[in-house]
Copies of this chain bind each other. A is one copy, B any other.
């Protein structure tokens, strides 16, 4: 069995197709090697080893050692250096690399191979004592943290582990020597630091720092595999839905150094702008630095080229002017990579003494606007076709375009606190919190928060996820905070140097203003401005985006699934229509009963003890309902509107205080005790499974009659005004065909009498919401009568799982943590269980009624995975909330592709 895959300049065992086995980084290193790009030689230990490691009580396959040693030998031969050699030692790095990108979530160890024996040789070779001891101290800091402490199973102490202790030693040394920056330290300083570090390690961790190069190498490799199950990585996988079984690969690669002097440099770049999608080579670099210096945001990096300079970076040197030949070479590589991968790439490079090395390429993360622009541009450039362009945008990313922005008027008059780098566009308001844990806690208490940090680290991911927006004092556009926020389409401002954060006091001082935990601020992530207080947000208008419009046009050309919206008011209907909705899939009528003018009639009905009184109370609602329906039908002229008859249990209309009971009793003319008695009667132990849905219509046929009358009269009047409307009357919560027949009879009889009286021809249909397992199981019986089905997958999920959505909070977190559920089934449709019922109902229903119109109107109607399921099961449409309509349009197009 082959576990180790070699790569070097011009050749490789692997390729970019082998991501599952080699991880993304390893596969792309192999691919770049084959493209003859300058990749430092190395080898990848496959994900199979990770699987083996966890399946076999954390041990490696027997043959692994031999394969690693053989691969290492090849690398040594290519480089003409030997690992652990006393005269000219080879140094290597170990880096993780999983199938899916998990930036910063796993461990890296650099400079492996430096020992008391190899250091003198390297100093001789490089003639640079400072560089060697700087490299050594970096090895010690990383290795002691990653390999000895974390992977060694040592619990870091409060206040940080060994790394923090070593940093303290360094800080003290700098302080006592009056140094302000790491660059101030001399070679001897670093040598001293190395000694002090090793002493501290021995005292704290109880072990000597390993001085054997092979021990270092194996320790590094194992620590990467162990970091696959570290807390950060596990949390990240939970958020991103990455299976635990995938495992990570480990890349062992010859070290190249961007920090050997001023002819060395390091940088990260995107082949196009990841925030806007602009076709400009976008990146940052630093001279005399290692890669981590750029990403960590500890030094403010320089712009890559002249054309991407901004007001803030104008004064900084670009690579283009500083090292024009190398820039030219890099720009050529950019073109090679884009042409080869036909997608925007995120690359890392290092220049060691005038020679360019490519350390990584991968498909670059981008925010929604950029994703759209890049996809549409590339299609227009002929690099990809339109269908590929459609697949390039994650439908959820459209959400960013649809997210609110700051109201310009309120922004104009607001108090500007500071300005930072616009790392994630859009607007957000929230209350200040200072730690990731606080963000998560406040969020779960229902607060909107903005997480404010010096800089973020992978440890903060859960809090960043919980926050409305992220604000950091340090870091650049490719800092951790910026990368993560862009991936999620979250508003984010980084590098706002004006912020003075006092974490202990939970205070910020910014340009003379003092802000405390819980204070409101508002951010405009598109331009990087931060304001005091809570400003108005306004919905964005995606129609302004030229590329968005192109993409949606292509999507509409491709997709066959129709997209409707769930809307209960003419305003919502109009908004959804503007977003491209092709009708209303669910118009709920219950909120129309709660209006103050109307609820008295509802309560009268509930209190009535005879049919006549019930009837006359219900009929008081007719004019109101008719007006409601006219408004909605008119807003959706020429498009179908599915109106659901009254659904909730009656007790929802009878939540009354003592005073209200007395008042109601008086206005209806009964005793207060009668009201109380009726309220008690309506109480149910499990209202979700109680007297609701069509069960109400059976018990109160006058409600069905009144609602049918209101709908049909509204439609008739609009027809008489020359409008074309398509009302679809939906009977809720049907479990047996007999319920359907009972209600349909009432509706048809009302409709036919109105239509024959008015002599109007109207295209109306009657159908049902399929939201109970029994409805799915007997869909053939129901479809003999119903003209349409609309899956109410919320309730269907409740009954299929036996989960009350209101009570699931008691055990869902535990279920997700224990992997008993892969995701919340109310968020994304459970294909295996609920989906099976849906498929069955479609098949049974269409079996007896081939013209049956079928849609879905639960929350799942806006979830891309669920939309794909609906498409592949032959549904006619999905219906979702107005703001998710564009997302659903794209998801439907992707399903078709």
User: Interface residues, chain A, CB within 8 Å of chain B?
Assistant: 684-691, 693, 695, 698-699, 733, 735-736, 738-739, 742, 771-774, 777-778, 781, 795, 798-804, 806-807, 810-811, 814-815, 818-821, 830, 832-834, 836-837
For the complex formed, measure the closest distance between the CB of A892 and the CB atoms of chain B, giving whole angstroms. Answer: 26
Instruction: Please determine whether B811 and A691 come into contact, CB atoms closer than 8 angstroms.
Output: yes
Instruction: Take A799-B773, A834-B774 as given contacts and tell me if A820 and B685 are in contact as well, using a CB distance cutoff of 8 Å.
Output: no
Query: Which residue from B693, B698, B778, B818 sits with its C-beta under 8 Å from A820?
Result: B698
Contact residues in B for A801 (Cβ distance below 8 Å): 735, 772, 774
Interface centre among A742, A798, A833, A837 (most CB of B within 10 A): A833
Instruction: Please determine whether A798 and B834 come into contact, CB atoms closer than 8 angstroms.
Output: no
5 other contacts beyond A689-B799, A736-B833, A772-B801, with CB at 8 A cut-off? A684-B810, A685-B687, A689-B803, A690-B807, A773-B800
Query: Which residue from B687, B774, B778, B800 sits with its C-beta under 8 Å from A772?
Result: B800
Contact residues in B for A798 (Cβ distance below 8 Å): 689
Contact residues in B for A774 (Cβ distance below 8 Å): 800-802, 830, 833-834
Give CA–CA (A892, B617) in the complex, Å.
54
Give CA–CA (A69, B842) in the complex, Å.
55
Instruction: Please determine whether A735 and B802 come into contact, CB atoms closer than 8 angstroms.
Output: yes
Query: Which residue from B684, B688, B815, B836 sits with its C-beta under 8 Å from A689?
Result: B688
Instruction: Please determine whether B820 and A687 come into contact, CB atoms closer than 8 angstroms.
Output: no
Query: Which residue from B698, B771, B818 sits with its C-beta under 8 Å from A742?
Result: B818
Give CA–CA (A742, B778) in the complex, Å.
33
Give CA–CA (A820, B734) in the complex, Å.
11
Instruction: Please determine whether A689 and B802 come into contact, CB atoms closer than 8 angstroms.
Output: yes
Give CA–CA (A83, B693) in the complex, Å.
60
Query: Which residue from B733, B807, B821, B833 sits with its C-beta under 8 Å from A738?
Result: B821
Instruction: Please determine whether B735 and A804 come into contact, CB atoms closer than 8 angstroms.
Output: no
Give CA–CA (A781, B830) in the complex, Å.
15
Give CA–CA (A799, B810) in the complex, Å.
20
Instruction: Take A738-B820, A795-B802, A832-B778 as given contacts and tell me if A691 and B810 are in contact as well, using a CB distance cutoff of 8 Å.
Output: yes
Query: Which residue from B698, B739, B802 sits with its C-beta under 8 Å from A799?
Result: B802
Instruction: Take A778-B832, A806-B685 as given contacts and tell me if A699 and B799 are in contact as well, using a CB distance cutoff of 8 Å.
Output: no
Instruction: Please determine whether A807 and B689 come into contact, CB atoms closer than 8 angstroms.
Output: yes
Contact residues in B for A736 (Cβ distance below 8 Å): 820-821, 833
Contact residues in B for A688 (Cβ distance below 8 Å): 685-686, 689, 802, 804
Instruction: Please determine whether A684 and B804 come into contact, CB atoms closer than 8 angstroms.
Output: yes
Instruction: Please determine whether B742 and A802 come into contact, CB atoms closer than 8 angstroms.
Output: no
Instruction: Please determine whether A698 and B818 come into contact, CB atoms closer than 8 angstroms.
Output: yes
Interface centre among A773, A800, A815, A836 (most CB of B within 10 A): A773
Contact residues in B for A690 (Cβ distance below 8 Å): 804, 807, 810
Give CA–CA (A777, B695) in the complex, Å.
26
For the complex formed, measure the closest distance between the CB of A668 and the CB atoms of chain B, giving whole angstroms. Answer: 21
For the complex formed, measure the closest distance between the CB of A93 and the CB atoms of chain B, giving whole angstroms. Answer: 39
Contact residues in B for A802 (Cβ distance below 8 Å): 688-689, 693, 733, 735, 771-774, 795, 799
Give CA–CA (A484, B742) in the complex, Å.
34
Top 5 A-B pairs ranked by shortest CB distance? Answer: A689-B804, A686-B804, A774-B833, A690-B807, A773-B773
Instruction: Take A736-B821, A772-B801, A811-B698 as given contacts and tell me if A778 and B833 are in contact as well, using a CB distance cutoff of 8 Å.
Output: yes
A–B Cβ pairs within 8 angstroms, 19 of them: A684-B804, A685-B687, A686-B688, A688-B804, A689-B803, A689-B807, A691-B810, A691-B811, A693-B802, A695-B811, A698-B818, A698-B820, A733-B802, A735-B802, A736-B820, A738-B820, A773-B802, A777-B836, A778-B832
Instruction: Take A684-B807, A695-B811, A814-B699 as given contacts and tell me if A777 and B821 are in contact as well, using a CB distance cutoff of 8 Å.
Output: no
Instruction: Please determine whether B777 and A832 come into contact, CB atoms closer than 8 angstroms.
Output: yes
Instruction: Find the B residue at minimum CB distance from A832.
Output: B778
Instruction: Find the B residue at minimum CB distance from A650.
Output: B810
For the complex formed, measure the closest distance between the CB of A86 and the CB atoms of chain B, giving whole angstroms. Answer: 53
Query: Which residue from B698, B738, B810, B815 sits with its C-beta under 8 Å from A814?
Result: B698
Contact residues in B for A819 (Cβ distance below 8 Å): 738
For the complex formed, measure the closest distance between the CB of A423 and the CB atoms of chain B, giving whole angstroms. Answer: 39
Give CA–CA (A736, B800) in the complex, Å.
11
Instruction: Find the B residue at minimum CB distance from A740.
Output: B820
Instruction: Find the B residue at minimum CB distance from A803.
Output: B689
For the complex formed, measure the closest distance between the CB of A776 and the CB atoms of chain B, giving whole angstroms. Answer: 9
Instruction: Please determine whether B738 and A837 come into contact, CB atoms closer than 8 angstroms.
Output: no
For the complex formed, measure the closest distance between the CB of A1 and the CB atoms of chain B, giving whole angstroms. Answer: 28
For the complex formed, measure the closest distance between the CB of A266 and the CB atoms of chain B, giving whole angstroms. Answer: 45
Give CA–CA (A810, B736) in the complex, Å.
17
For the complex formed, measure the closest distance between the CB of A797 and the CB atoms of chain B, giving whole angstroms. Answer: 9
For the complex formed, measure the closest distance between the CB of A745 and the CB atoms of chain B, giving whole angstroms. Answer: 11
Contact residues in B for A830 (Cβ distance below 8 Å): 774
Contact residues in B for A699 (Cβ distance below 8 Å): 810-811, 814
For the complex formed, measure the closest distance between the CB of A222 and the CB atoms of chain B, giving whole angstroms. Answer: 28
Contact residues in B for A821 (Cβ distance below 8 Å): 736, 738
Give CA–CA (A819, B795) in the complex, Å.
25
Give CA–CA (A735, B799) in the complex, Å.
11
Instruction: Find the B residue at minimum CB distance from A693.
Output: B802
For the complex formed, measure the closest distance between the CB of A686 and the CB atoms of chain B, giving whole angstroms. Answer: 4
Contact residues in B for A771 (Cβ distance below 8 Å): 802
Contact residues in B for A815 (Cβ distance below 8 Å): 695, 698
Contact residues in B for A800 (Cβ distance below 8 Å): 735, 772-774, 777, 799
Give CA–CA (A3, B738) in the complex, Å.
32
For the complex formed, measure the closest distance between the CB of A611 and the CB atoms of chain B, giving whole angstroms. Answer: 13
Instruction: Please determine whether A685 and B807 come into contact, CB atoms closer than 8 angstroms.
Output: yes
Give CA–CA (A739, B812) in the complex, Å.
12
Instruction: Find the B residue at minimum CB distance from A819.
Output: B738
Give CA–CA (A315, B436) in the complex, Å.
101
Instruction: Please determine whether B820 and A742 come into contact, CB atoms closer than 8 angstroms.
Output: yes
Contact residues in B for A832 (Cβ distance below 8 Å): 777-778, 781
Give CA–CA (A771, B799) in the complex, Å.
11
Contact residues in B for A772 (Cβ distance below 8 Å): 800-802
Give CA–CA (A282, B840) in the complex, Å.
58
Contact residues in B for A795 (Cβ distance below 8 Å): 802
Give CA–CA (A184, B820) in the complex, Å.
87
Give CA–CA (A807, B689) in the complex, Å.
8
Give CA–CA (A806, B686) in the complex, Å.
8
Interface centre among A684, A742, A807, A836 (most CB of B within 10 A): A807
For the complex formed, measure the closest distance between the CB of A701 and the CB atoms of chain B, giving whole angstroms. Answer: 10
Give CA–CA (A208, B269) in the complex, Å.
108
Give CA–CA (A693, B781) in the complex, Å.
33
Give CA–CA (A698, B799) in the complex, Å.
20
Contact residues in B for A738 (Cβ distance below 8 Å): 818-821
Contact residues in B for A687 (Cβ distance below 8 Å): 685-686, 807
Give CA–CA (A736, B811) in the complex, Å.
14
Instruction: Find the B residue at minimum CB distance from A802.
Output: B772
Give CA–CA (A781, B689) in the complex, Å.
28
